[in-house]
Amino acid sequence: MKKIIFVCLGNICRSPLAEGIAREIINKNNLSISVDSAGIGDWHIDEPPHHYSRQVAKDNGFSIDDLRGRKISIYGDSDFDMIIAMDSSNYEDLRALGFDKDRIFKIGDFGLNGEDIPDPYYQGKDGFIKVYNMLKITIENLLLKK
């Protein structure tokens, strides 16, 4: 089974939303893929996703209420086949942490010409909706067209 982890800065906005979108696509298409999410930092360990991430997920027919923030670790997370960074900064942080560079990818390379997924933390619900729409495109490309 292929294993994919989505990584953003704090694991409460972008990466849990990405994990939820991926779970939906995997379930609907009966794919043999395991997904997870984590953050570079440790500010939100054990916290639920941001309320706008949860609301946008619900508005699109799925829940991420079961997810909790966690920090990525080279020791516990090096077995993932793909480590998907939400932006260039996350990508560089993952490389600096020592993850295999051949397993690190930027989500924007899957349909957005390498564009970063912006952190919506201070952008209100509209920012989270924009992020959802960007992630939906890229994750469909990642899981269904590869």
Residues 117-143, mean pLDDT to the nearest whole number: 96
Q: What is the pLDDT of residues 66-123, one digit of tens each?
A: 999 999 999 999 999 999 999 999 999 999 999 999 999 999 999 999 999 999 999 9
- What pLDDT was estimated at residue 1? 78
CATH code: domain 2-144 is 3.40.50.2300
> What are the sequence ranges of the domains in the chain?
2-144
Entry pTM: 0.96
User: Are 3 and 117 contacting, i.e. CB atoms less than 8 angstroms apart?
Assistant: no
CA-to-CA separations, 108 to 34, 38, 65, 117, in angstroms, rounded: 20, 17, 25, 7
Q: Which one from 36, 77, 87, 119 is the annotated catalytic residue?
A: 119
119 in active site: yes
13 in active site: no
Residue 106 backbone dihedrals phi, psi, to 5 degrees: -100, 130
8 in active site: yes
Sheet holding 82-85, edge to edge: 33-39, 2-8, 82-85, 104-106
Given a cut of 90, is residue 61 above it in pLDDT? yes
Q: Which one from 13, 14, 87, 93 is the annotated catalytic residue?
A: 14
